[in-house]
Structure 1
């Protein structure tokens, strides 16, 4: 009788780490719920204290209150904002890039200098065009990523108002 020798095979993932040019990272912990307006260290907050309710994910035509949007970031959402004066074709391209995604927010933001700002919990990227390949790279890397303290938590059924 022949003996079959089984040699365990170890399959290693490619282990590629996506590096996104221009990415800024931060270090905030989650779970700090506060009522009322919050003074954030960054003009466009990337984490920290936030309202106990999260902003429902989706597309908005008015500025969002950051206190609710930051809670969505904690749930693994990506918040894409644009200056209200960018071309409508850019806004439509952003909508297309986010179409069908469950944990994204899209809204204008009056007080930003970059045309487009992509924000996730502890990560942010400034862009000038919706056609920039870093739009999809950022979404792929951060939507529902393990970098968010409560990734997988709901992004619906809560706050839906705008400023």
Structure 2
């Protein structure tokens, strides 16, 4: 009888963690559409003003304009970026982790110092390796999450250009 009582307790304990170690959070409101280049407070923007068009979700081999990518974040996308010198095997592992997901962007980003940066609206995580378990945890927590002002909005049919 004691054994049966322990199982629900263990399952509850496993599901209790809702934070991901290392995630930095911010407090930007959505809906601020602006034209042209935007000077962001963070080197890698996590929210704030953005272009009226969003970046089509998908895998890119060139830098993206942050003004469009931030709009995708507002729609509930997760933007995964990597340093251009990241090993191909790591880029392929990130591509595989995003496969089948509808609201993700993958692109290199010259301006970052971390190997990998995962960004959602008001949340960001820096990583050294694609094999880090926090890659999946971040995607599960933030893709199409209620933390994005317009979660559920389209992530296709808009801007597809790169820098």
- TM > 0.5 between the two? yes
Q: Structure 1 residue 16: deviation in Å?
A: 2.8
1:51 pairs with 2:56: no
Partner of 1:122: 122
- Structure 2 matches for 1:30-41, cutoff 5 A? 30-41=30-41
1:105 pairs with 2:101: no
- Structure 2 matches for 1:132-143, cutoff 5 A? 132-143=132-143
Identify unmatched segments of 5+ residues in structure 1.
1-13
Partner of 2:88: 88
Corresponding residue SS for 1:94: helix
Q: Structure 1 residue 120: deviation in Å?
A: 0.1
1:150 pairs with 2:150: yes
- Structure 2 matches for 1:62-77, cutoff 5 A? 62-77=62-77
For normalisation by structure 2, the TM-score amounts to 0.91
* Bigger Rg over Cα: 1
Task: Report the count of equivalent residues.
Answer: 151
Computed over aligned residues only, the root mean square deviation of the Cα atoms, in angstroms, reads 1.2
Question: Where in structure 1 do 4 or more consecutive aligned residues deviate above 3 Å?
Answer: none
Q: Structure 1 residue 17: deviation in Å?
A: 4.1
Distance 2:107 2:134 in 1: 18
Corresponding residue SS for 2:67: helix
